[in-house]
C-alpha cells in the first residue's frame, strides 16, 4: 500500500538505587547515588563521543554531536545518572579510521563508554581498542555487524533490512529490474552486498552494477555499465560527497529513472548538496523518527518523538535528520546501561544487553548477547526526498 503524507556487579550497600524510569519513557528521570565510575573524575560519568565533524562523514557527524548533546542535557536536567551528571568528551575523527584510533587512544582510561564513530570504517578500526579495554562502543553507523558478546553496538536498522525494505517496496510498485552503483569503502561494499542479497529474497534482479572510489570526481563509465542492462530504477549506495558525484552524473547523462540511496544520506545537508540535480523520484529507507506521525505508534512513543523533535527544533532551528536521532538514542541507551550497572564499566555491557522493549526515537530496542543492534524491519519505512523535504510513502 502506498501512502503519501508530508512531512553485573551488585551495588554498594549504601545509598539506595533508583531506576531511570527511563528517559525513553517521556524522559522522566529519577536518581540515586551508587558506585564510582571508571573515569578519572568520580563526580561525573563521561561518555567519549567520536564523530566526523569534518571530512566525508561530516553531514552525519555534525548532527550526531547535536543529538548527543541534547540527550546529555535532558538527562542532566532531570538529575543525571545515579545522582551524577553526565558529561561528553568529544573528538573529530575527520572521517578517517586512523584518526578514530588516535582519538580513541586518547580517551581510554578517562571515559565510561564510547559513542561513535560516525562511519563503519572508523567503527571497525576502534573496536579492538574498546574490546581490550572492556569498554562499550556504541557505533553510530548501521554498516557494522557486532559479534555476539562483543563490546560493540551498531545504531539504526541493519543494512540488510534497509535494502530488503527498499526492494520490497519497489517490487510492490512493479519495479523488478535495478542497477547498482556503490563506493569501494566499507559502507559501500556493505550496501552492495545487502542489495544483492535482498534482490535474491524479493524477486528483484540486479541487471547492472559498478563500483567507484569515494574520491572519484566522475562516474560516467560506471553509470554506463550500471544502466546497460536497462534497469527500471537505480540504487546509489554511497554517502556524502561521493553520492553527490553519482547523482550529478545521473543528471548529466539524462537518466530519468527512480533512484534510491542509503540512509546515510538522510540529512538535510545532503539534500541541499544535490538540490540542482535531485532525481524526480529519490527514495531512502528510513527509521521511525522520520515517519512516526503517519503511523500512530502509541502514546509513549508519540510523547518521546514530539519532545525530541520540538526541543531539537527549538535549540538548533532545524528539523533533526539521521545523525541526531542515532546519537540521541545511543546516549540514552548507554546512560541507562550505566545506571543499571551502578557505574561499573565492566558490567555495562551485560546491562546494555539486558535492555528489552525500550522505546527510542529511531525505534524500539530489545538487545541480547547475540543482538547488539536492537531494532529491525518494524522500525523501517520508505521516504521520498523532494524539494529539500522528506515525505513518507510507505512500508
State the pairing for strand pair 137-139/152-154: parallel
Percent of the chain clearing pLDDT 70 (strictly above): 89
pLDDT tens digits for range 304-336: 999 999 999 999 999 999 999 999 999 999 999
- Identify which has the larger pLDDT, 37 or 159: 159
For 170-180, what is the mean pLDDT?
A: 97
Split at pLDDT 50, 70, 90, the class of 21 is very low
DSSP string of 353-386?
HT--SEE-SS-EE--BTTBSS---GGGEEEEEEE
Phi, psi for residue 371 in degrees, rounded to 5: -140, 95
- Which structural domains are found in the chain, ordered by start? 15-157+297-377 (3.40.50.2300), 159-291+382-394 (3.40.50.2300)
Rounded to two decimals, what is the model's pTM?
A: 0.84
Distance, CA of 133 to CA of 113 (rounded, Å): 10
Phi, psi for residue 264 in degrees, rounded to 5: -65, -15
DSSP string of 57-78?
THHHHHHHHHHHHHHHHHHHHT
Distance of CA 182 to the CA centre of its chain: 19
At 13 the pLDDT is 33
What residues pair up with 271 in beta bridges, in sequence order? none
Distance, CA of 158 to CA of 377 (rounded, Å): 9
- Cell digits for 185? 569503502
What CA–CA distances, in Å, run from 149 to 135, 171, 320, 370? Answer: 12, 36, 32, 6
The CB density around residue 369, as the number of other CB atoms within 10 Å, is 12
At 42 the pLDDT is 77
For 365-377, what is the mean pLDDT?
A: 96
Amino acid at each position: 500500500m502506498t501512502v503519501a503524507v508530508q512531512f553485573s556487579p551488585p551495588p554498594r550497600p549504601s545509598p539506595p538505587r533508583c531506576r531511570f524510569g527511563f528517559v525513553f519513557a517521556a524522559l522522566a528521570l529519577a536518581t540515586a547515588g551508587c558506585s564510582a565510575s571508571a573515569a578519572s573524575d568520580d563526580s561525573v560519568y563521561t561518555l567519549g563521543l567520536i564523530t566526523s565533524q569534518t571530512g566525508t562523514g561530516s553531514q552525519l557527524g555534525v548532527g550526531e554531536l547535536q543529538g548527543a548533546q541534547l540527550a546529555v542535557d535532558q538527562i542532566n536536567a532531570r538529575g543525571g545518572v545515579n545522582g551524577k551528571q553526565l558529561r561528553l568528551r568529544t573528538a573529530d575523527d575527520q572521517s578517517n579510521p586512523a584518526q578514530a584510533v588516535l582519538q580513541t587512544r586518547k580517551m581510554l582510561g578517562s571515559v565510561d563508554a564510547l559513542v561513535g564513530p560516525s562511519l563503519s570504517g572508523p567503527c571497525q578500526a576502534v573496536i579492538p581498542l574498546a574490546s581490550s579495554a572492556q569498554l562499550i562502543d556504541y557505533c553510530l553507523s548501521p554498516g557494522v555487524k557486532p559479534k555476539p558478546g562483543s563490546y560493540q553496538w551498531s545504531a539504526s536498522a541493519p543494512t540488510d533490512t534497509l535494502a530488503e525494505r527498499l526492494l520490497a517496496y519497489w517490487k510492490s510498485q512493479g519495479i523488478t529490474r535495478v542497477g547498482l552503483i556503490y563506493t569501494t569503502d566499507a559502507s559501500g561494499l556493505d550496501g552492495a552486498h545487502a542489495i544483492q542479497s535482498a534482490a535474491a529474497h524479493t524477486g528483484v534482479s540486479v541487471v547492472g552494477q559498478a563500483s567507484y572510489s569515494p574520491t572519484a570526481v566522475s562516474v560516467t563509465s560506471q553509470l554506463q555499465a550500471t544502466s546497460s542492462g536497462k534497469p527500471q530504477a537505480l540504487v546509489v549506495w554511497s554517502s556524502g560527497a561521493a553520492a553527490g558525484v553519482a547523482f550529478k552524473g545521473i543528471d548529466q547523462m539524462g537518466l530519468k529513472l527512480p533512484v534510491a540511496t542509503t540512509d546515510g544520506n538522510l540529512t538535510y545537508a545532503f539534500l541541499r548538496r544535490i538540490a540542482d540535480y535531485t532525481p524526480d523520484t529519490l527514495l531512502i529507507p528510513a527509521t521511525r523518527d522520520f515517519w512516526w506521525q503517519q503511523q500512530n505508534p502509541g502514546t509513549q512513543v508519540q510523547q518521546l518523538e514530539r519532545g525530541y523533535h520540538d526541543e531539537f527544533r527549538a535549540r538548533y532551528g532545524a528539523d533533526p535528520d539521521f545523525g541526531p536521532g542515532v546519537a540521541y538514542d545511543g546516549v540514552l541507551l548507554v546512560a541507562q546501561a550505566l545506571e543499571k550497572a551502578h557505574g561499573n564499566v565492566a558490567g555495562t555491557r551485560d546491562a546494555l544487553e539486558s535492555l528489552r522493549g525500550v522505546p527510542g526515537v529511531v525505534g524500539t530496542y530489545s538487545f541480547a548477547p547475540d543482538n547488539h543492534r536492537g531494532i529491525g524491519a518494524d522500525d523501517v519505512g520508505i521516504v521520498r526526498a523532494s524539494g529539500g523535504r522528506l515525505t513518507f510513502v510507505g512500508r
